[in-house]
Amino acid sequence: MASSLGLQTLSDTYNAVFVLPESPVWEIMGFSYFLFDIFDNSDADLVLYDDLRTCVGENLDVDLNRVSAMGFSGGSLFTSILVRDRSDTLASFVEFSGGADYEISLFSDTAVKWTEPAENTPGLIVAGGDTDNWPDGFTVIDFVEATDNLQSHLLDGGHFVVRCDHNYGHTIPMGYMERAEEWLIGHTYGEPSPWLETGIDDWGMGCYVAESDASAE
């Protein structure tokens, strides 16, 4: 991810710190893949986040009010958990193909069970259309449905949400990462999103400020 998204270049450009923890490897149905605990079986991953944040704060000259979270696929699902349980440490978040409250038929439990966060956190959430699922050819997780679930929860809780939809499937298409960069750099904890005033009319790419059914009436 560091290489494909050019995170070293972004770090140099913005004088920013990126922290990329590596998750355990799960073995299911003959597949091996990296995934954080999305079923609340333990708090180990949240403790890891707390420790990493503390380590960065103690050893580098950083502004902890400008910490944001970003993920793709399983990393996005864990980003939802961070927003749910650590919103008092996050300025904003970005999810590519993530979500919450998704029933996975292979398991008896719900992935990323949502409870309302303690703080409102501006979110940029991106989904990839009919083929945004995992794994390819045999859908275990429909990330559009999971993203829809997350969006509904966030709007019900009064969070500011920008939603983007594309039709390139389970990937991060060109152009969307640039918007994510702007989003991550543009937010500070405790301050309203700058896009609340400016809007995103110039973004294009299927992006819009999401509204709840009640606010749209």
Contact 102, 113 (CB under 8 A): no
> Using CA atoms, how far apart are residues 206 and 197, in angstroms rounded to an integer?
20
Helices 44-59 and 74-86, packing angle to 10 deg:
80
For β-strands 92-96 and 68-72, DSSP reports them as parallel
> Using CA atoms, how far apart are residues 18 and 79, in angstroms rounded to an integer?
14
Q: Encode pLDDT of 170-183 as tens digits.
A: 999 999 999 999 99
| pLDDT for 135 | 79
pTM: 0.93
Place of tokens 């927003």: 83
Q: Encode pLDDT of 6-24 as tens digits.
A: 999 999 999 999 999 988 8
Domains and CATH numbers, the chain: 7-216 (3.40.50.1820)
| pLDDT for 108 | 67
Burial of 180 (0-12, 13-18, 19+ CB in 10 A): buried
| pLDDT for 216 | 43
Residue 26's DSSP bridge partners are 33
The secondary structure of residue 23, as a DSSP letter, is P
The secondary structure of residue 213, as a DSSP letter, is H
Residues of the chain where predicted confidence (pLDDT) is lower than 70: 105-108, 213-217
> Using CA atoms, how far apart are residues 194 and 197, in angstroms rounded to an integer?
6
Nearest to 181 by CA among 99, 124, 121, 120: 124
Dihedral sign, Cα of residue 81, residue 121, residue 2, residue 166: positive
